[in-house]
Amino acid sequence: RADATYYHEFGDRAGIHVVITDFLGYVLADDRIKAYFTNANIAVLNASLTNQVCMLEGGPCKFDENMKTIHKNLGVTEAAFNALAEDLQKSMNQHDIPLAAQNDLLSKLAPMKHDIVTK
């Protein structure tokens, strides 16, 4: 969908922000991937991801960072990518985001794997 239905189902930008905040909490506690984030600026990452998801789901947000450039030197594996996606699903489920909206977001993130996984 190109309209803002999914954006509203996420609870607009404020709802997305809560989903992303809890998602990052899961990531930072996830032994499979937390080491990647040792030197990350979590506040900046939170704001960027919130804007990115807001935009992808049809909200009035701007986001134009390049996924390939950002993740170039991180050595992200496919297993790490999948673990991160699981943590996102966990947060979306916890916040009762409707499944169609969840799947829409996941389907938009999945193709980014090619730019993010380098190892």
Task: Based on the shown chain and the rule CB under 6 A, indicate whether residue 41 belongs to the binding site for ligand HEM.
Answer: yes
Instruction: Rule CB under 6 A: say whether 76 interacts with ligand HEM.
Output: yes
Residue tagged 């080491």 (tokens):
35
Three-state SS sequence of the chain: CCCCHHHHHCCHHHHHHHHHHHHHHHHHCCCCCHHHHCCCCHHHHHHHHHHHHHHHCCCCCCCCCCHHHHHCCCCCCHHHHHHHHHHHHHHHHHCCCCHHHHHHHHHHHHHHHHHHCCC
From 40, 79, 100, 106, residue interacting with ligand HEM (rule: CB under 6 A): 40
55 binds ligand HEM (CB under 6 A): no
Q: Which is nearer to ligand HEM, 80 or 101 (CB)?
A: 80
Any contact of residue 105 with ligand HEM (CB under 6 A)?
A: no
Cα(17)–Cα(10) distance, rounded to whole angstroms? 9
- 74 binds ligand HEM, rule: CB under 6 A: yes
Compare residues 65 and 96 and give the one whose CB is closer to ligand HEM: 65
Min dist. Cβ of residue 103 to ligand HEM (A): 14
Q: Which residue ranges make up the site for ligand HEM (CB under 6 A)?
A: 33, 36-37, 40-41, 44-45, 48-49, 52, 65, 70-71, 74, 76, 80-81, 84, 109, 112, 116
